[in-house]
Structure 1
Amino acid sequence: MAAGAQAMGGGPLARLLILAILHVNFVALGLEPDFLYPLENVTIAQGRDAMFTCVVNNLGGYRVAWIKADTKAILAIHEHVITNNARLSVTHNDYNTWTLNIRGVKREDRGQYMCQVNTDPMKMQTAFLEVVIPPDIVYEETSGDMMVPEGGSAKLVCKARGYPPPKIVWRREDGGDIISRGGPQGKTKVTSLEGEIVNLTKVTRSEMGAYLCIAANGVPPSVSKRIMLHVHFHPLVQVPNQLVGAPTGTDVTLQCHVEASPKAINYWTRENGEMIISNEKYHMSEINRSAYSVQMKLVIRNIQRSDLGGYKCISKNSIGDAEGNIRLYEMELPNRKSGDEDDRDISSEESNDVRSGLQGPLREGGPRAEDAGFLGGGGPLAGSAPHTAPHAIFLISAFALAAC
């Protein structure tokens, strides 16, 4: 038979002859075409390539056709593509396997596909092509960064598309709680919230920060958008120590804690309004504690009596201003020497304790004797004359009268 086909030139006519002979043989033997394996469903992301494989035994002179079952459109017969879709092709391994290839799958390719053999009655098997689409944020319908006054309300919206429809989850970037108020359960705190919309009411400064809208549908990759919520309020100044005392000749640090949004301009002045600038005498610094909180520090080096008095830390933003007041006074080093310790110096440890800065009643001219206990003196100041008992004074007076 092969020789006959070769003698005929191996062309289409020879192939048809061979198929006819095989068909007659299969019919004579009672063999019908049979599917060896079921056609398998395919799920694939949009833009990828998909394929269906159909394995038919005992085909004989019959033909294999591919059909889009839901539209009844014939896609291919044997190895010949019928449809005008250039993304479709069919491959055959010259034995019993036919493969339908779909390049760059699109959403409209989704549906039921059929591998059919033209027997009588017809034999066929079907499989479903599911085209999934990774999530994508719809930016034109999603909130951007927003600003609200403290005590106001904010509505955060996040829209996403994809297939299956994505699920939206909200989280705070810093891991903090999302606070919901006014619902049937009252005030609730959660670390994540599901849904396209988040309503925040009676917003406080602690709710300021970045909120993440995360869209996922099981098709990687998940996507997210960062929405910054700014809560505006006028500055608030807190002074940890309003009275600060230190010995002259030492350095002292004054501190203020400032909360403000939008970001404030912070500076120091003397009580007469004179603005302080950084130089060899003064060193100013700020440490950010949060998105709206700052610690102000003023270091005064080698303080003298002219440095004593009032200082102000001032904070101003576009909404308002606030100030804090600190009073600096001189704290004398306590005299700790006794009569038999005239040549002993105050230990360096005790000196350092005092030089670190002390707090106490406001006295710009130094402490009074009655405050010695507060300053660490405990009893009478060292070096002062001992008190004379009242009965001793009476005896001295009596002796003087007798002598007269």
Structure 2
Amino acid sequence: MVVQEGQNVTLICTATGLPTPTVTWRRERDVPLLQTANGTDIYSIDGTNLTLWQVTRESMGAYLCIASNGIPPTVSKRILIAVNFAPTVWTRYDTIYAGFGQKVTLECISEAHPTTVNLWLKGKEFVQSGTYESVTLDNVFRIVMRLTIRPVVSKDFGDYHCVAKNSMGESERIITVRHKSKKSIHHTHELEGKDNHLILIEGG
């Protein structure tokens, strides 16, 4: 079953038998089925209908309808829900300082469903040397995008856009590569803030 993020979904499962079976809903791998308004996790619900309100990407996965009347065997049915959502892109750093001749690797990570088209841009020009590693996590497609610049020359400084697109939308992040003067920076360190990260690269 494929649904859009934010939709309401009702799963229906009926069972017959004598005595009348009880139908219980669970998720695979002990993932919480629902969460109450006060944050309490619910792991199982009895009843033929299961309604999921305003599904999110965390709602993705397998749901188990388990029927039991005390007489073995217990019977179950597996229903897989896929939630379509626009890409989310993030980076571990927004700015890199590097000197001439050094090696720099830029990295972005995107998550989306369905899977994305990924690319690197410098200005409006497509950068062909990027590598893309695809990883599927709980039916969410995660793409690790890497771009290596080696050796760094003057034309390599500037803004790089990592872009992810699918049928639901598009997202991008910008990583800026700046020139680092050896006279002004003598120690390698990493500065992390809530909104901005920078990395200084020494050596080479």
Tell me the TM-score range normalised by the shorter chain. 0.7 to 0.9
Q: Which has the larger radius of gyration?
A: 1
| TM-score, L = length of structure 1 | 0.42
Q: Which amino acid aligns with 1:217?
A: N
Which residue of 2 is the match for residue 170 of structure 1? 25
Q: In 2, Cα distance between the equivalents of 1:312 and 1:299?
A: 11
Equivalent of residue 10 in structure 2, options 147, 151, 155: 155
Equivalent of residue 54 in structure 2, options 155, 178, 202: 202
The residue correspondences of 1:293-332 to structure 2 (distance < 5 A) are 294-305=142-153, 306-332=155-181
Residue 303 to residue 284, structure 1, CA distance change in 2 (3 Å): farther
- 2:147 is equivalent to residue 292 of structure 1: no
Which one has the bigger helix percentage? 1
The alpha carbon displacement at 1:300 in A equals 0.8
Which residue of 1 is the match for residue 100 of structure 2? 248
The residue correspondences of 1:100-119 to structure 2 (distance < 5 A) are none
8 Å contact from structure 1 (residues 248, 302) kept in 2: no
8 Å contact from structure 1 (residues 245, 359) kept in 2: no
8 Å contact from structure 1 (residues 167, 195) kept in 2: yes
Residue 329 to residue 297, structure 1, CA distance change in 2 (3 Å): same
Q: In 2, Cα distance between the equivalents of 1:217 and 1:272?
A: 64
Which residue of 2 is the match for residue 86 of structure 1? none
Deviations 1:335-376 (A, max 9, x none): 99xxxxxxxxxxxxx9xx84xx9679xxxxxxxxxxxxxx7x
Which residue of 1 is the match for residue 197 of structure 2? none
- Corresponding pairs, count: 193
The alpha carbon displacement at 1:241 in A equals 1.4
Percent identity (aligned): 33
* Bigger RCO of structures 1 and 2 (CA < 8 A, at least 6 apart): 2
Deviations 1:98-128 (A, max 9, x none): xxxxxxxxxxxxxxxxxxxxxxxxxxxxxxx
Q: In 2, Cα distance between the equivalents of 1:288 and 1:189?
A: 25
The alpha carbon displacement at 1:200 in A equals 1.0
The alpha carbon displacement at 1:293 in A equals 5.2
Q: Gaps (5+ residues) in structure 2?
A: 193-199
8 Å contact from structure 1 (residues 150, 232) kept in 2: yes
Residue 249 to residue 163, structure 1, CA distance change in 2 (3 Å): farther
Which one has the bigger strand percentage? 2
Q: Which amino acid aligns with 1:251?
A: K
Which residue of 1 is the match for residue 195 of structure 2? none
Query: What root-mean-square deviation, in Å, do the aligned CA atoms of Structure 1 and Structure 2 show?
Result: 3.1
Deviations 1:54-112 (A, max 9, x none): xxxxxxxxxxxxxxxxxxxxxxxxxxxxxxxxxxxxxxxxxxxxxxxxxxxxxxxxxxx
8 Å contact from structure 1 (residues 179, 187) kept in 2: no
| TM-score, L = length of structure 2 | 0.78
Residue 260 to residue 287, structure 1, CA distance change in 2 (3 Å): same
- 2:112 is equivalent to residue 260 of structure 1: yes
Q: In 1, Cα distance between the equivalents of 2:190 and 2:131?
A: 20
8 Å contact from structure 2 (residues 114, 141) kept in 1: no
The alpha carbon displacement at 1:243 in A equals 0.9
Which residue of 2 is the match for residue 381 of structure 1? none
Partner SS, residue 16 of structure 2: strand
Residue 159 to residue 334, structure 1, CA distance change in 2 (3 Å): farther
Which residue of 2 is the match for residue 233 of structure 1? 85
Deviations 1:27-48 (A, max 9, x none): xxxxxxxxxxxxxxxxxxxxxx
8 Å contact from structure 2 (residues 60, 138) kept in 1: no
Residue 170 to residue 233, structure 1, CA distance change in 2 (3 Å): same
Q: In 2, Cα distance between the equivalents of 1:252 and 1:245?
A: 9
Q: Gaps (5+ residues) in structure 1?
A: 1-145, 337-349, 361-374, 376-404
Q: Which amino acid aligns with 1:190?
A: I
The alpha carbon displacement at 1:247 in A equals 2.9
Q: Which amino acid aligns with 1:172?
A: R
Equivalent of residue 72 in structure 2, options 194, 211, 220: 220
Q: In 1, Cα distance between the equivalents of 2:55 and 2:132?
A: 33
Deviations 1:295-324 (A, max 9, x none): 523141423223222211111111211111
Q: In 1, Cα distance between the equivalents of 2:145 and 2:67?
A: 44
8 Å contact from structure 1 (residues 270, 276) kept in 2: no
